[in-house]
């Protein structure tokens, strides 16, 4: 009987899993890989009951359904996502046939081998590539295949054709302005006199609590809110203490804990940027104190397909590493609320990777975790060029376009509160429109007719879902005061609100909200509808003479979603009978 390896030698018996027509723009092959060079790859196996899991998650997340709130345990979720025994054994035996040892974790297989073996197994041609603006070389191949017999047992193998590289930070911070000492003193004095008054020139914790009607104080017992840090950013204990002293005196002494993931660090003296991580912890605390706060510090960087706006070096975050770590945790160790303020354009992420990551967010929702992401800071898009054919097209964000995260846009001003120009939104190119948002989104689409219809897929998932203030937040960073703007500020604020709602539900013996979106769209009246302002972009594209913009309008819109939080109404919907006091 011919071996799999022999069968694989014939191109007619191999399925090409992914192939690039040429070396991506900005990259150069610098040399062929040595046969002895080491390569570690991760292989995703098809999940046996993926469709059933999706249905189950919708049922436990939809108010009024008999299964609402009946979140799953880790083992229950793994039962849905488990591959068939045949898939596991076929792939493990295929690898073992070439002397490759592998590690199986449910629907993932990890293996390390040398380039010669990887080339033979995958009909690949691994080489070292260098990005034109520097950084370390990357070991990649322009295509890879698997035997026909195994094609149904393998969803993807990466990193293979995924060109990515360590590079500059890419969070959704739109702007950061470090204040001079005299400016800092003036803001402190002003904040002390007008504690609860919102001055659009600077947003403070007291302003947010006043604006969004937040009076409730949660119990810290049994509650946890977390945020994710990537790209060598670390929240600083000393900066949080200074922030508490100056702006959140009632939280003085509260600190945060840190869990290290995939080689992540907690470097309190790093010279690298820390503005994003400090913004996250300071405004999660500002809204949700005294709920305990956890920072996940994740090392490594994920795959990136270079585009006009993100040509490299890679700035994607290692979602797979972080999410598989999180889903491996005991049920009692998971936070009820998780905020992340990083993202990139959806088309820069390989589709199979993006879909698999979205599936992992769905699994977190199944286990009762509310996952929030900033929507991005480029309105409809930056260059607004579709890489596949260079046509003008809007640029949805990843992972904000994933239906299983709650995407948070940004506002500014207070009388009235308005959509801010950088707030990203639009329609995913990968995910179909979920039923829970159909009425709200289709009403918006009906109001704009054929406007921009050639530049987005109106049948797909619309985002953001909600919004919060996102302009000129006062933050302490490396001992200095700064004003930060971006949907990076909006996500931790809304996450703080959700953390309070989850704590209120716990006080009544109710389960956490988990996957939020069906509940939010079912309770849109508990949000403040933002009807003015706009999100703008595409200014450098000749197809849009004056750029392009989405307008904030009555009802859902792709600038502010359903609107900003009215905490009193949200609390009444989430935990009836709990007083906002």
DSSP 247-259: H-GGGTT--EEEE
> Closest Cα partner for 431 from 356, 355, 534, 347?
355
Helix, strand, or coil (residue 283): helix
CA distance 91 to 111: 11
Enumerate the active-site residues.
Answer: 276, 280, 488
DSSP 123-174: T---EEEEETT----EEE-SEEEEEGGGGGG-SEEESSS------S--BSEE
Q: Is 29 exposed, middle or buried (0-12, 13-18, 19+ CB in 10 A)?
A: middle
Tell me: cis bond preceding 162? Omega within 30 of 0 counts. no
Q: Count how many residues are written for the chain.
A: 581
CA distance 437 to 443: 10
Tell me: cis bond preceding 290? Omega within 30 of 0 counts. yes
Give the 3-state secondary structure percentages of the chain, helix then strand then coil, rounded to 5: 30, 25, 45
> Closest Cα partner for 238 from 274, 290, 189?
274
Q: Hey, which residues does 260 pair with through a beta bridge?
A: 297
User: Which residues are CB-neighbours of 225 under 8 A, at least 6 positions away?
Assistant: 284, 288, 291, 292, 293, 294, 335, 336, 337, 338, 339, 495, 496, 498, 499
């Amino acid at each position: 009987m011919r071996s799999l390896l022999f069968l694989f030698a014939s191109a007619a018996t191999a399925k090409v899993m992914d192939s690039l027509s040429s070396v991506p723009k900005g990259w150069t092959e610098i040399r062929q890989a040595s046969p002895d060079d080491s390569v570690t790859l991760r292989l995703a196996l098809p999940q046996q009951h993926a469709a059933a899991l999706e249905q189950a998650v919708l049922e436990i997340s939809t108010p009024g359904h008999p299964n609402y709130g009946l979140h799953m345990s880790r083992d229950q979720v793994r039962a849905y996502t488990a591959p068939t025994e045949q898939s596991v054994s076929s792939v493990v035996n295929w690898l073992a046939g070439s002397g490759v040892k592998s590690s199986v974790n449910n629907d993932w297989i990890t293996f390390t081998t040398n380039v010669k073996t990887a080339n033979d197994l995958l009909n690949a041609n691994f080489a070292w590539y260098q990005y034109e603006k520097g950084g370390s070389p990357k070991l990649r191949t322009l295509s890879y295949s698997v035997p026909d017999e195994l094609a149904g047992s393998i969803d993807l193998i990466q990193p293979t054709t995924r060109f990515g590289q360590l590079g500059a930070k890419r969070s959704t911070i739109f702007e950061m302005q470090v204040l001079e000492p005299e400016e800092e003193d003036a803001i402190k004095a002003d904040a002390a006199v007008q504690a609860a008054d919102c001055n659009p020139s600077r947003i403070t914790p007291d302003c947010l609590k006043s604006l969004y009607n937040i009076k409730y104080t949660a119990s810290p017992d049994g509650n946890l809110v977390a945020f994710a840090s990537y790209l060598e950013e670390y929240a600083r204990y000393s900066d949080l203490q200074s922030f508490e002293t100056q702006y959140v005196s009632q939280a003085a002494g509260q600190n945060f804990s840190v869990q290290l993931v995939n080689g992540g660090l907690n470097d309190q003296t790093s010279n690298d940027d820390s503005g994003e991580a400090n913004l996250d912890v300071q405004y999660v605390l500002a809204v949700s104190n005294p709920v305990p706060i956890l920072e996940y510090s994740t090392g490594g960087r994920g795959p990136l397909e270079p585009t006009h706006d993100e040509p490299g070096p890679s700035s994607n975050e290692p979602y797979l590493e972080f999410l598989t770590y999180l889903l491996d945790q005991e049920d009692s160790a998971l936070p009820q609320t998780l905020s992340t303020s990083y993202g990139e354009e959806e088309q820069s992420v390989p589709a199979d990777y993006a879909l698999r990551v979205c599936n992992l967010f769905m699994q977190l929702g199944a286990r009762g975790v509310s996952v929030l992401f900033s929507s991005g800071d480029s309105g409809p898009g930056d260059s607004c060029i579709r890489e596949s054919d260079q046509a003008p097209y809007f640029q949805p964000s990843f992972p904000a376009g994933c239906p299983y995260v709650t995407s948070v846009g940004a506002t500014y001003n207070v009388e009235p509160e308005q959509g801010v120009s950088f707030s990203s939104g639009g329609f995913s190119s990968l995910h179909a429109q979920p039923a829970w948002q159909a009425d709200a989104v289709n009403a918006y689409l009906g109001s704009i007719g054929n406007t921009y219809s050639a530049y987005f897929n109106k049948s797909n998932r619309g985002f953001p879902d909600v919004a919060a203030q996102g302009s000129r937040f006062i933050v302490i960073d490396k001992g200095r005061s700064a004003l930060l703007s971006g949907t990076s500020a909006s996500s931790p604020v809304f996450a703080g609100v959700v953390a309070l709602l989850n704590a209120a539900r716990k006080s009544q013996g109710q389960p956490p909200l988990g996957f939020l979106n069906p509940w939010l769209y079912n309770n849109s009246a508990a949000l403040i509808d933002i009807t003015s302002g706009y999100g703008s972009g595409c200014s450098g594209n000749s197809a849009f003479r004056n750029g392009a913009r989405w307008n904030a309008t009555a009802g859902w819109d792709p600038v502010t979603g359903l609107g900003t939080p009215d905490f009193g109404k949200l609390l009444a919907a989430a935990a009836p009978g709990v007083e906002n006091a």
